[in-house]
């Protein structure tokens, strides 16, 4: 039986980096979920190298639309997917970094919809397929210290931070509610990706500060793959685990 991995937001950045690595593993079915399968970045995924016994499925999933996750699962089931072993809830947005004093309601909503609601709808949609896994299934939410209560960096982040804090709450609760499921938050670090670099520029960080705070995509994804390969509910359930294997306080 193939190991089935679903990654949301898989057509760019961290999601694509993890997708590339899973495709190189033998006997895997890797599901690239993203909001527009017709976009060039999504179509290019079909050209990625794959292990001989591994297959790629691209499916539409817009994290800001509640119903999309359920429709995506129906589509997958119609293509013969009868279980899922690993879900990486990676899709999300960050486009503005205001203080709490200046944040606008519409910007809070625009972050909460994909970063929090999208995680909940994805979990509900894939739950029955995760239950059919023959191993300890994983529901991993892409985490960040920006959403932390105790270790958040001293930077203005009143949209992205709270939305990720809410999704972190879900990773703890899901892990406690489901004895059969391993749920945890995976911290990629502050990565040189489109999203990460845009944030650094918007916050006015100079190159020296970026070099101190940020890491490369390969370092992040290689580390997260090691964590995902070795993690267990007993070891990491409900925790924030960084790409280097360290755990952090919420």
Phi and psi torsions of 192, nearest 5°? -75, 85
| Average pLDDT estimate for 151-157 | 86
**HSE-CB for 45 with a 13 A CA cutoff:** 32
Q: Which of 9, 21, 13 has the alpha carbon at shortest distance from 48?
A: 21
Write out the residue range of the structural domain in which residue 183 sits.
3-248
In this prediction, residue 162 carries a pLDDT of 97
Per the model's pLDDT, the better-predicted residue between 243 and 205 turns out to be 243
In this prediction, residue 192 carries a pLDDT of 78
Q: At 114, is the secondary structure helix, strand, or coil? A: helix
Reply yes or no on whether the pLDDT at 57 is more than 90.
yes
In this prediction, residue 212 carries a pLDDT of 64
Per-residue pLDDT tens for 43-53?
999 999 999 99
Q: What proportion of the chain, given as a percentage, has pLDDT over 70?
A: 97
CA dihedral 126, 132, 135, 136 (to 10 degrees): 50
Per-residue pLDDT tens for 191-228?
877 767 777 766 777 777 676 677 889 999 999 999 99
Identified catalytic residue from 160, 233, 239, 243: 160
**HSE-CB for 157 with a 13 A CA cutoff:** 22
pLDDT range class, residue 177, cuts 50, 70, 90: very high
Tokens of 229: 């390969």
Identified catalytic residue from 22, 117, 123, 164: 164
| Average pLDDT estimate for 80-88 | 98
95 is catalytic: no
164 is catalytic: yes
CA 68 from centroid of its chain's CA atoms:
16
CATH number for position 70: 3.40.50.720
Residue 9 gets the label, from left (phi > 0), alpha (psi -120 to 50) or beta, of left
How far apart, in whole angstroms, are the C-alpha atoms of residue 180 and residue 239?
16
What's the number of domains the chain is made of?
1
Q: What is the pTM of this model?
A: 0.93
Q: Which of 126, 158, 156, 159 has the alpha carbon at shortest distance from 141?
A: 126
């Amino acid at each position: 039986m193939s190991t089935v991995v679903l990654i949301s937001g898989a057509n760019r950045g961290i999601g694509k980096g993890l997708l590339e690595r899973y495709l190189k593993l033998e006997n895997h079915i890797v599901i690239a979920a993203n909001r527009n399968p017709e976009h060039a970045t999504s179509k290019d995924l079909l050209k990625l190298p794959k292990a001989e016994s591994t297959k790629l499925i691209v499916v539409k999933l817009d994290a800001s639309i509640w119903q999309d996750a359920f429709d995506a699962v129906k589509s997958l089931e119609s293509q013969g997917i009868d279980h899922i072993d690993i879900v990486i809830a990676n899709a999300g947005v960050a486009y503005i970094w205001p203080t709490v004093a200046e944040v606008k309601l519409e910007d809070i909503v625009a972050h909460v919809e994909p970063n929090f609601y999208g995680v909940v709808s994805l979990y509900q949609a894939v739950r029955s397929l995760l239950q059919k896994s023959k191993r300890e299934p994983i529901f991993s939410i892409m985490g960040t210290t920006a959403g932390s209560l105790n270790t958040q960096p001293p930077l203005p982040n009143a949209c992205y931070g709270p939305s990720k804090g809410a999704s972190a709450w879900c990773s703890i609760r899901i892990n406690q509610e489901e004895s059969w499921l391993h749920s945890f938050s995976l911290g990629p670090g502050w990565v040189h990706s489109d999203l990460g670099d845009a944030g650094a520029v918007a916050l006015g960080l100079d190159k020296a500060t970026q070099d101190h705070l940020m890491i490369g995509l390969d370092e992040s994804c290689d580390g997260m793959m090691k964590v995902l390969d070795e993690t267990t509910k007993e070891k990491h359930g409900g925790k924030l685990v960084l790409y280097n294997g360290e755990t952090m306080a919420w």
